[in-house]
Amino acid sequence: MSKLTGKVAVVTGGSRDIGRAISIGLAKEGAKVVVNYNSSEAGANETVNEIKSFGGEAIAVKADVSSLPDIKNLKAKTVEAFGDKVDIIVNNAGGLFARKTLQELDESFYDLVMNVNFKATVFVMQVFEPLMGKGGSIINLSSQAARDGGGGGSSLYASSKGAVTTFTRAMAKELGPKGIRVNALCPGLITTKFHDDFTKDEIRKMVAGKTPLRREGSAEEVADLVVYLATERSSFINGANFDINGGLAFS
């Protein structure tokens, strides 16, 4: 029997890159997966179809997880499909959106970055926590930027991920007595569309060259750690923020 057979998992931002790898990784271990997306419907359907191709169960649900009504609809669709118990939440949705200096920031950009990266994490946990019980696992996606302030023009992104890191620790203490574990990952340079869009090739080559393993990480390597944290094999790990950056930086 697979490690997550009979479990229900919700993955926000599950349509591509790290979210897609996580969704597929959880499904391969037997979890029924809700693949959340906002704009990438085709990617979400592709992820669901891949899961179904190896006999897994999954649905795609559109929801802007920075919106509380949308999160509540995501919960309703999850319950409708898989029942009123959720075992695994992966808060993966997030974005940098643009690189801006302090003087280029405005209120609307602040709201966008903080809402997608932090508000979403808070309220997805709030809405779904009543469906979780002993043995539940919440995995949040923070970032190496939360450790080191991020690259140029990513101050709000780094700060929002720093908030995720701190909130993870707080919720580990609050939800731990209920048997629900809360951990986070802090990925470094991972080969994704995120870096295709926002990181120059010369910067990527420079960072990979400084990394002790001399390469970028893969979405699947991040997903493998998420799967481990979702299983009972990690049952005494709570409140941890795991660096996954090839040894480039240490907490």
Q: Is 157 tagged catalytic? A: yes
Which of 37, 110, 157, 228 is catalytic? The answer is 157
Residue 243 DSSP class? E
The β-bridge partners of 90 are 11, 139
204, with CB counted inside 10 A (0-12, 13-18, 19+), is middle
If we measure between CA atoms, which residue out of 202, 212, 94, 69 comes closest to residue 154?
A: 94
Q: Residue 185: CA atoms inside 13 Å, Cβ hemisphere, count?
A: 26
* Number of Cβ atoms within 10 Å of the Cβ of 205: 11
Active site residues: 157
